[in-house]
Amino acid sequence: MNKILESYKKSIQGKKAAVLGFGISNRPLAKTLAGWGAKVTVFDRKKEEAFEDILTEYRNLDVKFSFGDKYLDNLSGFDIIFRTPGMRFDIPQIQKEVANGAELTSEMEVFMKCCPAVTYAVTGSDGKTTTTSLIYEFLKKAGFNCYLGGNIGTPLLDRIEEIKPEDRVVLELSSFQLQTMKGSPDVAVITNITPNHLDLHKSMEEYIDAKRNLFRYQKKSDRLVLSFDNPITKSFISEAIANPAIFSVNEECSFGTFIHNNCIIYRENSEEKEIIPISEIKLPGMYNVENIMAAVTAVIHEVDVDSICYVAKSFGGVEHRNEFVKKVREISFRNNSIGSSPARTIATLKSFDGNVVLIAGGYDKNLSYDEMGAFLPGHIKALVLLGATSDKIESSYLKHVQREGLKAVPVLRADGMEDAVKKAYAIAQSGDTVLLSPASASFDLYANFMERGNHFKDIVNKLD
């Protein structure tokens, strides 16, 4: 019996629980809480008509709803509030309830508190989904019964009663999920930290501090994996409670993973294990080598080298992450819709030799494009821009070109994705790659990066 879970279920029986947001993760949450005996009210800014096909099922569980523009006006008198990850914790309506004694939490916080299995969790500005997926595949290949969830798209609280102590749970956690977290996983991995989501975080320091929660509550016996090549994650070494293991493509390390003679090596207590030659890794790009190194450093105490090598040689990547779509007239089309920050786009472009027609632009997260503007010369042969950040990207690129006295590549503006693909296809030549890597969020034109990437693929797949 999971005593922590049973105790939690008893503690919320008869309590008034507010579920803020009725998206993917909170729908099973509302159902689960109602099944555990809580009095649940769901709040969502959308109108009731948006959910009419599923409301009957929830109302049969006595779940109540507050919809529309003023949906939070009814947030009063609750014992516990479950915040959706994309909602700030400090908005006045929430803080008023907290001041009146309500507990503020989330689906993921309760899951981590009650989960009986060893938990791996990954965060970072770039690479966290691929690293999370690799850890999951490594553990599965080694014979563990595994659960994958969190920001990667799958809620897990509604499945917690089937999880056993001998299982393994692998989570991807965003800064928004971590911001109010008061517990840390058994194995924490931070891939890197670069400016991101500054449209929702009040400052870069707030963003960094949210990431700290991944290891802030660890025990000394836990494991913390950090990039030694990223200055922010490197600075976390001195703050760690657990003994940190590092990964680095630039330096050898005494405890962690590094590269020697183009082979990934793991070293601990002067003992070394050769993991895999870089040339045998299926995923393209040095940034994916880093993702594999992070995953290896996390699982090496539980997964044998043969299992790691099998996965590294066969794992082809995650959808929307430098994903090969199609080749037309010897022009390759790749979908990197996950590239929602300049750092992600830069990392992806490093996988190519410069014959890239880049499609970029989207929602403005208040990020600087200066570094990207300086990087683009020599790495692209044309730039197709769409969305709200088009001016910022073009300005940063041309400013660097003019300052360095370089010749600018063609910069085209597009009216939507179909126009962007059409213009990129027209200017590309045999042997080129048309790469969607927007360096921006999707919210000005799409609900999320998956919808954006799928639209790109639909358009490309119709080309001939």
Given a cut of 80, is residue 275 above it in pLDDT?
yes
What are 225-255's pLDDT values in tens digits?
999 999 999 999 999 999 899 999 999 999 9
Distances (CA, A) of 390 to 341, 364, 412: 13, 9, 10
**Residue 213: band (very low, low, confident or very high) from pLDDT cuts 50, 70, 90:** very high
What are 173-195's pLDDT values in tens digits?
988 899 889 999 999 999 999 87
Identify the CATH class of 3-105. Answer: alpha beta
Mean pLDDT over the full length of the chain: 94
Contact 223, 242 (CB under 8 A): yes
- Comparing 84-88, 300-304, 307-311, the range with the smallest average pLDDT is 84-88
**Residue 10: band (very low, low, confident or very high) from pLDDT cuts 50, 70, 90:** very high
What confidence score (pLDDT) does residue 198 get? 66
**Residue 153: band (very low, low, confident or very high) from pLDDT cuts 50, 70, 90:** low
Cα separation, 379 vs 371, in Å, equals 13
Contact 188, 214 (CB under 8 A): yes
**Residue 93: band (very low, low, confident or very high) from pLDDT cuts 50, 70, 90:** very high
Structural domain spans, the chain:
3-105, 109-314, 323-460
What are 339-396's pLDDT values in tens digits?
999 988 998 998 898 899 999 999 998 889 999 999 999 999 999 999 999 999 999 9
Given a cut of 90, is residue 155 above it in pLDDT?
no
Nearest partner of 451 among 199, 153, 200, judged by Cα:
153
* Whole-number percent of the chain with pLDDT over 90: 83
What confidence score (pLDDT) does residue 397 get? 97
Looking at domain 109-314, which of 3.90.1170.20, 3.30.499.10, 3.40.50.970, 3.40.1190.10 is its CATH number?
Answer: 3.40.1190.10
Assign domain 323-460 to its CATH architecture: Alpha-Beta Complex (3.90)
What confidence score (pLDDT) does residue 240 get? 96
Structure-token pair, residue 163: 């999880």
Predicted model pTM:
0.81
